[in-house]
Structure formats: structure tokens, C-alpha cells
Structure 1
Amino acid sequence: MEPIEINAGSWYLRALRADDRIDDRPALAAGGITDPGYVARRAAEWDNETHYSWAVCEPTTAEMVAEIGVTPAPDGTAALTGWAREGFEPALDAGLTTVRRFAEGALGLRIG
């Protein structure tokens, strides 16, 4: 599956990126994630539908402030997880609500 972009009101959710236009690695490092292969792994998980992840971003700058993930299980349930950089908990909360609706409505998953 190709990554799906989502509008969460004041926040914009998109796939993680590390390219010549947008690099989420500094924001990930601020969140404690320093694995150099992390962004590529998240992209591969979209491709094989084992985990869906979103960078929660400030819409005018595309700066990543949080990450949300959905991990589906074979029984149709899924785990919803997320973390936010310090001070950006409202962005995480808004994103979690929006991703829950997306996972249940568009993907047919039951969030457990």
C-alpha cells in the first residue's frame, strides 16, 4: 500500500521522509529514535502492510512534531501507538483521533 496523507485539523499527517526536500531524522532523534534505517524501514512496512506510520507535521513548515503508528494483527485488530516531541502532545492527540478513524473506517481494523 502507498502511504496515505491525512489532514488532522491544525496538523498534517504524512509518511516519514529523509530526502533532499524533507528530512525527519533530526525530529526523530529529538524523540529518541537514532536508527539510520528507521525511515526506510517505515516505508517498507507500508509496502508490505505490516505497519502504517505517519509523521504529524506543522502544515506551514512540514516540521515533524510527533509520530503515529498502526500495527495490524491477523485477526483484524490493530495497535495504535504514538509519541510526541516535548510540548507537542496536542498534535499527538489530534493525530491519534484522526488515525483511529482512518484505521477503522478505511482499513477496516478494530483498534485494541
Structure 2
Amino acid sequence: MEAIEINAGAWYLRALRADERIDDRPALAANGITDPEYVTRRRTQWAEESRFSWAVCEPTTAELVAEIGVTPRRDGTAEIESWALPGHREALDVAEPAVRRFAEGALGLRPDPA
């Protein structure tokens, strides 16, 4: 599956990127994620449908302020994990319900309770 973008009100959710237009690696590094293959791995996980992840971004700048991911389990449930840069917890408070709805409606998964 290709990555799906989600509009979560004041926040925009998109696939992680590291290209000539948008580079999420500095924001990832600010959260301690320095693996050079991290963005590539997340893209591969979408294709394999083994984990779905989104960069939670400022809609006007596309700057990553948080990441949220859904990891499906064989029993039809899913784990939702997230992190936010300091001062951006509210982005996850808005993004998580949208991602839960996507996991349930589009993927047919039952996310763990919040």
C-alpha cells in the first residue's frame, strides 16, 4: 500500500520524507532518531503493510512536529505509538483520533484502547 495522507483539522499527516523538497531527518534527529535508513524503512513498512506511520506536520510549512504509527497484529488489533517534539503534544492529541479512525475504517483494525 502507498502512504495515505490524512487531514486532521489543524494538522496535516503525511509519510515521512527525506528528499529535495522536504527533509524530516533534522526533526527526527531532534527526537534522537539518527538512523540514516529510518525514513526508507518507514516507506518500506507501508509497502509491506507491516507498519503505517505519519509525520504530523504544520500545514503551512509541512514541518514535522510529531510522528504517529500503527502496527497491525495478526489478530486484527493494532498498537498505536507516537512521539512529539517538545511543545507539540497538542498535535498528537488531534492526530491520534484521526489515525484511530483510519486504522478502524480503512484498515479494518481494532486499535488498543487509548
Give the Å deviation of 1:8. Answer: 0.3
Give the Å deviation of 1:77. Answer: 0.4
- Give me the whole-angstrom Cα distance separating, in 2, the residues matched to 1:24 and 1:31: 11
Q: Does 1:92 align with 2:89?
A: no
Name the counterpart of 2:78: 78
How many residue pairs align between the two structures?
Answer: 112
RMSD in angstroms over aligned alpha carbons?
0.5
State the TM-score, normalizing by the size of structure 2: 0.97
- Segments of 5+ residues of structure 1 without an aligned counterpart are none
Tell me the amino acid that sits aligned with residue 66 of structure 1. A
- Segments of 5+ residues of structure 2 without an aligned counterpart are none
Tell me the amino acid that sits aligned with residue 26 of structure 1. P
Name the counterpart of 1:102: 102
- Give me the whole-angstrom Cα distance separating, in 2, the residues matched to 1:78 and 1:94: 19
Tell me the amino acid that sits aligned with residue 67 of structure 2. E
Question: Which aligned pairs between 1:16-35 and structure 2 lie closer than 5 A?
Answer: 16-35=16-35
1:67-107, CA deviations, whole angstroms, 9 ceiling, x for partnerless residues?
A: 00000011100000100000000001111111001101111
Name the counterpart of 1:37: 37
Q: Which consecutive segments of 4 or more residues in structure 1 shift more than 2 A?
A: none
Tell me the amino acid that sits aligned with residue 41 of structure 1. R
- Give me the whole-angstrom Cα distance separating, in 2, the residues matched to 1:14 and 1:5: 5
Local SS of the residue matching 1:96: helix
- Give me the whole-angstrom Cα distance separating, in 2, the residues matched to 1:30 and 1:95: 20
- Name the % identity: 71
Tell me the amino acid that sits aligned with residue 63 of structure 1. E
Name the counterpart of 1:11: 11
State the TM-score, normalizing by the size of structure 1: 0.99
Q: Does 1:63 align with 2:66?
A: no
